[in-house]
Structure 1
Amino acid sequence: MTDRAGSPAQESDLIDVRELVDAYYQRVPDVADPAQKVAFGTSGHRGSSLDTAFNETHIAAITQAIVDYRTEQGIDGPLFIGSDTHGLSRPAEKTALEVLAANGVHALADAEDGWVPTPALSRAIIRYNRALGSNGTTITPGLADGIVITPSHNPPRDGGFKYNPPHGGPADSDATGWIAGRANEHIANGLRDVKRTEPSSVDGYDFRGEYVADLANIIDLAAIRNAGLHIGADPLGGASVDYWALIAEKHGLDLTVVNPVVDPTWRFMTLDWDGKIRMDPSSPSAMASVLQHRADYAVLTGNDADADRHGIVTPDAGLMNPNHYLAVAIQYLYAHRPDWRADAAIGKTLVSSSMIDRVAASLGRRLWEVPVGFKWFVPGLVDGSVGFGGEESAGASFLEFDGSAWTTDKDGILLALLASEITAVTGKSPSQLYAELTDEFGAPAYARVDAAASKEQKARLGKLSGADITADTLAGDPITARLSEAPGNGAAIGGVKVQTEHAWFAARPSGTEDVYKIYAESFRGPEHLAEVQAEAKTIVDRALGA
């Protein structure tokens, strides 16, 4: 961690927005260079125009590829499109709208030319298709889909471009692989088959109004209002800024937008752990300026640039660890949502805290453990068989009061409001409730560290089988499971997870650096966690032949 972590950004830390946008239009990628190709990760295509990794050519090609994919799949309804506050988002939206117009796709953009959070776009798709009598999983005439333009919490120099099919959530690997491959073909062909024209007009959709009005279907806003809670919400310069203002007005909440400033340089941020500006509401360093107000509000929250992540700050504990809050949210929701299916499972990624496992067992609910990536929760949220799906990286969503799907993408606004509902209904902060969980189940120590690995070793790690792990013990305890597939759905985890009665670790290759990530947790405390981490590296290196 840099010694500047948590300190205010300085002029030298800021991007030159004009240079960034000029590079978007002027630089042309070479798809012979892997770093300049279209590549979809778990959250779409991301990169910077300054690295020739997110440029006009990329966006025109990706949008045409999405049009081609829609034709291939028989998707012929409107396409919802929105962007966040990153400097590259609006230029990319303009390019995408030109390609959509030339291809005759009916695009619906924000009616007020405002920013659109990821959950608001997912919600719009679900509402539209529900009105057609469809949940979007079976392609029928007239279904809508969407594009959201955001690199999420990434630094200001980055851009991002995501496709959400008719179910409303992130596209699966088959779809993104097809789209990326077609987009790279379009680039290699000099965009010869990419259609483009200036749209004569773009129809508007009230993303903000519809989303805010619908919140009464999923959050007990009356309880929050009647409790008189003083709430603070910091959008961190992101797309949720005007949403929070309308939530306060529409639902009569004592809610203050702590910092309503939008600036594509994010000069008001404090630096993250590595000295970069990064709008991560789960990072104590990025949230340092927000934490100064912790005593001023009963509940204080933060969101990232597209509002798919949440950060929860309480007066008694400060910024909650995302895993801690997810455990509290799960315990509360399954006790206060009586109309959910009796068999609605609890969804978690396999690198989330096993405190969630213990909470699930105490509730008598099935635990549905899946690989990293919110896309895995989509089918369960759509049919109501999963009541809550959450990731260790502060992303989650859950069902409406009646058990129907709310969003099939992460919703940071929703999880932030839930913290206020929990406080209003229980009379306790989420951090106080987590302390009660530790009294009952123990206090786990959790951390993620990186270990060096070559590209060849990372490739081997991604294909390891649990059978390749030969160790019998981990930090003094017998190993009870060696996993290379997620227990919930049998999908490959792209690495391994090793468990004992009291601890576990998971190892996965990084997609951007020559390292692999070791997630680990111990219910025997920090010293035992350190033993687990050290042995995890030895075990994995042995399996990789390092």
Structure 2
Amino acid sequence: MTDRAGTYAQDSDLIDPEAVTAAYYDLVPDVADPSQKVVFGTSGHRGSSLDAAFNEAHIAAITQAIVEYRTGQGITGPLFIGRDTHVLSAPAERTALEVLAGNGVTVLADAEGGYVPTPVVSHAILVYNNDPSHDDQADGIVVTPSHNPPRDGGFKYNPPHGGPADSDATSWIANRANEIIAAGSGDVRRGEAAPGRHDFLRGYVDDLANVIDFDAVKKAGVRIGADPLGGASVEYWAAIRDTYGLDLTVLNPEVDPTWRFMTLDWDEKIRMDPSSASVMASVVSRKDEFDIVTGNDADADRHGIVTPDGGLMNPNHYLAVAIDYLYAHRPDWRPDAAIGKTLVSSSIIDRVADDLGRRLWEVPVGFKWFVPGLVDGSVAFGGEESAGASFLRRDGSVWTTDKDGIILALLASEILAVTGKSPSALYRGLTERFGDPVYQRVDAAASKEQKARLGKLSGDDITATELAGDPIVAKLSEAPGNGAAVGGVKVVTEKAWFAARPSGTEDVYKIYAESFEGPEHLKRVQEEAKTIVDAALGA
């Protein structure tokens, strides 16, 4: 934590939007340089135009590759496209529209030319594909780097299942895009952008009553403050208020590509992460004015929940409360519908699931793993420790297969309205029943070679038998829920666990750890975790 974390941005922190946009067009990436290649992470290709990592050549090539991919997959329906409020999102969308037009793809963009949150694109794809009046299938593109700083751009592909593309698809698209750029981009076809128009906002907002009990929220008179943090959800919150007659105030309707109104994150960077106490400092300062205050990141796939009695909730804490509430208040969900969590999410979720008599479905990091279960209703809730989650409609059918920070934010008000208790108070009740875990993520130095070894490590490579004085009961390199490789290891005792995964962007590995025995025990777990992992890596 730095001295200026949680304080308002100063002029010296701000980007020059014109310079960032000019670099998008002027700089041509050299894909022989790994830092300038197309690389799809868990949420698409991200980078800054200023670093020659997100430029017109990238987006043109990625879009051409997506066209070729969807053709190979027999996808012939419309492609829904939306963008967030980052300065690079508008030029990138324009490039994509030209390439899609040049390839004869039917495209549906926002009817008002406005911003479109990630979950809204997922919702539109699923609604179209679940309509029996046609046989073709739609897919989509979301132009967003999510919560990343203002200088960054992002570009991700959602296939017909509506969620993030799997690694087979993204690897093919990235490899093909790099081939196109390396060959001089001659394979890119471009035309005049002339997309069809789709009313994303009304289609999503009018359907929300099938997910959230607005009658209960309105009847209880819950006073809501919703801060879009300068992101794509800004018009959606006003529309939700007006459509459902809620006592809801949009705390900051301003959109500014510099995000000058933000408070700085832990590293003094402007970042729209609603789970960060530093980022949410100005939002938290208004907690006593409302019953529930919420925040969303720039594409609204993440949520932050603030209560008068608890301040900003830890994402793991809110996930546990949401799960406990939903599975008790959604009678039309399948009785065998599992609870989905990533393996680095809190183990209090395991205890809640056991108490509910529900199967826990634990998967690797990445929301894509929840997609099949959300589609067929076998997983009613999927959540990540990084404040991303989605859940089913009230009738048990699919809502979105990408993270939806809007419905998670609205759910907090429903929980308060129905139970009479804030999510923070309900979490305290859970800890009285199941224990009070302490959770933290730290980083440890690692070379590229060590990171590569860690990503391929097997549980059998861990020779330790104890962790912080307790017997190790599991050493996992595959997720229990689906058997997929976790890209690292997780070591579990009855009282604690840690997971180690290589960073995709830095020469470090991430250690996630949790203890039900308090902060000192957690510190011991973290110290021994590093020793155990370093021994397995031969460090």
TM bucket by the smaller chain?
over 0.9
User: 2:404 and 2:489 mapped to 1: Cα distance?
Assistant: 28
Residue 230 (structure 2) pairs with residue 237 (structure 1)? yes
What is the CA–CA distance in structure 2 between the aligned matches of 1:255 and 1:391, rounded to whole Å?
Answer: 27
Matched, 1:184 2:178: yes
- Aligned position for 1:138: none
In the alignment, what sits opposite 2:86?
Answer: 86
* Residue matched to 2:344: 351
Which residues of 2 match residues 35-74 of structure 1 at below 5 A? 35-74=35-74
How many Å separate the matches in 1 of 2:287 and 2:235? 22
TM-superposition CA deviations, 1:84-112 (whole Å, max 9, x none): 00000000000000000010000000001
Q: CA deviation at 1:230?
A: 0.7
Q: Does 1:153 align with 2:147?
A: yes
2:444 corresponds to: 451
**2:410 aligned partner, one-letter code:** L
133 and 533 in structure 1: CA distance in 2 versus 1, 3 angstrom threshold = farther
**TM-score between the two structures when normalised by the length of structure 1:** 0.98
Tell me which residue corresponds to 1:367. Answer: 360
In 2, the alpha carbon distance for the partners of 1:268 and 1:454 equals 38
- Matched position secondary structure for 1:467: helix
CA–CA distance in structure 2, aligned partners of residues 96 and 535 of structure 1: 48
Letter in 1 for 2:35: A
Percent identity over the alignment is: 78
Q: 1:384 aligns with which of 377, 381, 387?
A: 377
Q: How many residues align?
A: 539
Map 1:124-135 to 2 at 5 A: 124-132=124-132
Q: What does 1:458-497 align with in structure 2 at a 5 Å threshold? A: 458-497=451-490
Give how far 1:530 is off: 0.2
| Aligned residue number for residue 502 of structure 2 | 509
Alpha-carbon offset, residue 198 of structure 1: 1.5
* 2:222 aligned counterpart, secondary structure: coil
Equivalence for 2:189: 195
Q: Which residue of 2 aligns with 1:531?
A: 524
Q: Distance in 1 between matches of 2:257 and 2:318?
A: 30
Match of 1:163 in 2: 157
Deviations for 1:490-516, whole angstroms, at most 9, x for unmatched residues?
Answer: 000000000000000000000000000
Letter of the aligned partner of 1:218 in structure 2? Answer: V
Structure 2 stretches of 5 or more lacking a match? Answer: none
CA distance in 2, matches of 1:87, 1:193: 27
Structure 2 SS opposite 1:368: strand
1:182-213 CA distance string (max 9 Å, x none): 100110111111100122x3211010111000
| Structure-2 separation of matches of 1:498 and 1:422 | 34
- Post-superposition offset of 1:133: 7.0
Q: Which residue in 2 is equivalent to 1:253?
A: 246
| In structure 2, distance between residues paired with 1:473 and 1:189 | 54
Give the match for residue 144 of structure 1: 138
1:205 and 1:389 map into 2 onto residues whose CA distance is: 28
Cα deviation for residue 132 of structure 1 reads: 3.1
* Closer, same or farther: CA 71–446 of 1 in aligned 2, 3 Å: same
The TM-score with structure 2 as length reference comes to 1.00
- CA deviations 1:94-153 (Å, max 9, x no partner) are 00000000100000000011000000000000000001379xxxxxx5100000000000
Give every structure 1 segment of 4 or more consecutive aligned residues whose post-TM-superposition deviation is greater than 3 Å: none
Describe the superposition over 1:395-421 as per-residue Cα deviations: whole angstroms up to 9, x where unpaired: 000000111000000000000000000
Counterpart CA distance in 1 for 2:113 and 2:77 is 22
**Helix, strand or coil at the partner of 1:131:** coil
Letter in 1 for 2:99: V
Partner of residue 226, structure 1? 219
Task: State the partner residue of 2:270.
Answer: 277
Letter in 1 for 2:293: L
Shift of 1:240: 0.2
Q: Give 1:2 deviation, angstroms.
A: 1.1
Q: What do you get for the CA RMSD once the two structures are aligned? A: 0.7
- How far, CA to CA, are the matches of 1:365 and 1:451 in structure 2? 35
The one-letter code sitting in structure 2 at the alignment partner of 1:351 is V
Give the corresponding residue for 1:321: 314
Q: Deviations over 1:292-323 (max 9, x none)?
A: 10000000000000000000000001000000
Give the corresponding residue for 1:137.
none
Partner AA of 2:222 in structure 1? L
Between the aligned partners of 1:338 and 1:291, the Cα distance in structure 2 is 34
Mapped to 1, the partners of 2:67 and 2:41 lie a distance apart of: 20
Question: Counterparts in 2 of 1:337-348, with a 5 A limit?
Answer: 337-348=330-341
| CA deviation after TM superposition for structure 1 residue 3, in Å | 1.1
Q: Distance in 2 between matches of 1:470 and 1:306?
A: 43
Distance 2:31 2:11 in 1: 34
AA in 2 matched with 1:97: L
For the residues of structure 2 that align with 1:202 and 1:99, how far apart are their CA atoms?
11
